Amino acid sequence: MTIANIVALLGGLALFLYGMQMMSTGLEAAAGNRMKNILEKLTSNRFLGVLVGAAITAVIQSSSATTVMVVGFVNSGMMKLRQAVWIIMGANIGTTITAQLITLDIDLIAPVIAFIGVAFIVFLNKPALHNYGAIIGGFGILFIGMEMMSTAMAPLREVPEFVNLMTRFSNPVLGILVGALFTAVIQSSSASVGILQALAAEGLIGLGGAVFVLFGQNIGTCITAVLASIGTNRSAKRTTVIHLLFNLIGTVVFTAVILLVPSFVSLIESWTPGNVSSQIANMHTLFNIASTLLLLPFGGLLAKLATIILPERDDEQPDTQKLLYLKPISSRQQEYHVGTTAIVCNDVRLELERMATMVKENISLCFDSVLTLNGDSMTEIERNEEYIDYLNKEICKYISHHLSLSNNGQDSARLTAYFKIAGNLERVGDHAVNIGEYTALFKSKQISLSGKANAEVEEMKAACETALDYVQNLDYGTTDHLVETGKLEQRMDDMTREYRRNQIARMQAGDCSGEACILYSEMLTDFERIGDHILNIAEALA
């Protein structure tokens, strides 16, 4: 094999991977957020979950992309681990569509398809048509790359050492290891299966040697999800463990079947005699469909096994957004008994106090971010804000459920007050995020606050923290308590008016720019509204 063949092989692989990326990017852009919405809504049922996972992966041509998306959902708490199992199973089925497409004999028209796609991108102005052009162009480029790889590997038929190496792949352990390692390196099972089909098309490997490499490729594709899970929580890491377990179990089962029933390979060959590329595609599809059917009844056990392999640690923060005190709503809760509302009131209060603690933490972080002009804390602020939003939604859902069942007027009034408190805490959290985001604007516009303005920001931070201290303990609320909070809210209003006058005076004196004045004024608006919401909380408590 000459240097020219090696270069052609690398070029073909580059075009193949780029074509796949073009298709994936174009399809995802054309679909917008619909794929994410579908994944979120249709995964409660295992069969729907498998179908959705398969459909999404068939569309974006990458099981790795689907799995990485699912890892992100589990990490954020938007999807439970059990839901992720079905999506992953479906993704393994959907990824086989690429291998089936490769078996189509469209080498002659592939350049025409690529040209049409590129023409969409170059000559048309609508962004939507550019997305469709990327889909069409990527499809054509993928096949051009496949043909280049096949042509480049043709001379290997005359190299005895290479032919001898291919025959060794009939050793299950060697074949699986080679397939897993190569796929892990290029991070695409579709591409590695495509290369295997190119070798088969040139007569360099038969199905008997290719099957074990194929099984290893299914294991190697898990590396992308493993890399994506670095730095995520334990539940997200368990998602990658499930992906790995699925392919390992499937590999063990299929390897055992082939070793115990040698005629099984002959059966697959008989479906498309003389076309090894198609035989590999069929085995790839059969492997993933059969593995899914085999493991579908045991999805819950897979999730439990992943939890056993990666148990929750006592020394770490909770992995996902979850309620610590409130119990899941079930049909049994329709049978109300004495004392239920009192228990619910206590549990709601405890969840609200957790929420208030997160809000206070974000208040401190956001003002510190402005004072130091360091935006590094925005990641933590946004993570806290997502948790605050989650708690608000879940707490309000619980309160609504129990209000419809409660007959106790006093407890109902208390739950109604807690409903108002949850909404106001969430709004305080929103204003904290707004204040934190001013840091990026200050930095991008190269604006720095004067010493006097920074001193005012320090006073705003202290006032907000003091006000939150007044309402953080939700176990009591008195008229005196409300009066004190009212006085502080009035002081925050007075501070807002005073600081606006000061800022205008600094601008007139040339001590600050007009842009700085606008941003500072918007920050003061957020500060004032924080005071309003805290007063609302105090009124609800009283």
Q: At 447, is the secondary structure helix, strand, or coil? A: coil
pLDDT along the chain (542 residues), means of 10: 83 83 72 56 75 80 74 67 86 85 74 93 88 88 82 75 71 90 78 82 84 91 78 79 93 94 92 90 94 90 90 57 68 43 75 91 92 85 91 89 68 85 93 90 82 90 88 65 84 92 86 83 92 89 78
Structure tokens at 300: 């819950």
- Render 286-310 in DSSP notation, one character per residue: HHHHHHHHHHGGGHHHHHHHHHHHS
The tens digit of pLDDT for each residue in 486-527 reads 888 899 999 999 999 998 888 888 888 888 888 889 999 999
Considering only CA atoms, which of 465, 321, 466 is closest in space to residue 385?
Answer: 321
- Cβ neighbors of 76 (< 8 A, separation 6 or more) are 320, 321, 386
Question: What is the dihedral angle through the alpha carbons of 481, 485, 488, 493, rounded to the nearest 10 degrees?
Answer: -160
Spell out a b/e string for 60-96, using b for 16 or more CB atoms within 10 Å of the CB, else e: bbbbbbbbbbbbbbbbbbbbbbbbbbbbbbbbbbbbb
CB-side neighbour CA atoms (13 Å) of 448: 5
Max CA separation in the chain (angstroms): 94
Spell out a b/e string for 150-186, using b for 16 or more CB atoms within 10 Å of the CB, else e: bbbbeebeeeeebeebbeebbebebbbbbbbebbbeb
The tens digit of pLDDT for each residue in 478-493 reads 667 778 888 888 999 9
Contact 506, 450 (CB under 8 A): yes
Contact 292, 50 (CB under 8 A): yes
Cα-Cα-Cα-Cα dihedral sign, residues 159, 161, 164, 168: negative
Structure tokens at 452: 């006097």
Structure tokens at 369: 């971010």
| Angle between helix 234-260 and helix 207-220 axes, rounded to 10 deg | 170
CB-neighbour burial class of residue 104 (10 A; exposed 0-12, middle 13-18, buried 19+): exposed
Structure tokens at 533: 């919401």
CB-neighbour burial class of residue 289 (10 A; exposed 0-12, middle 13-18, buried 19+): middle
CB-side neighbour CA atoms (13 Å) of 394: 22
Residue 400 amino acid letter:
S
- Cβ neighbors of 347 (< 8 A, separation 6 or more) are 325, 326, 327
Structure tokens at 473: 């303990």
Give the span between the Cα atoms of 94 and 304, in whole angstroms: 25
Q: How far is Cα of residue 482 from the mean position of the Cα atoms in its chain?
A: 43
Give the span between the Cα atoms of 78 and 44, in whole angstroms: 12
> 331-541 adopts what CATH topology?
Methane Monooxygenase Hydroxylase; Chain G, domain 1 (1.20.58)
Contacts 24+ apart (CB under 8 A), 438-445: 438/370, 438/519, 438/522, 438/523, 439/369, 439/370, 439/373, 439/374, 439/375, 439/378, 440/375, 440/378, 441/519, 442/370, 442/373, 442/516, 442/519, 443/373, 443/375, 445/515
Considering only CA atoms, which of 211, 210, 194 is closest in space to residue 13?
Answer: 194
* Domain ranges, ordered by start, for the chain: 3-309, 331-541
Give the span between the Cα atoms of 134 and 140, in whole angstroms: 10
Token look-up 């924080």 returns 530
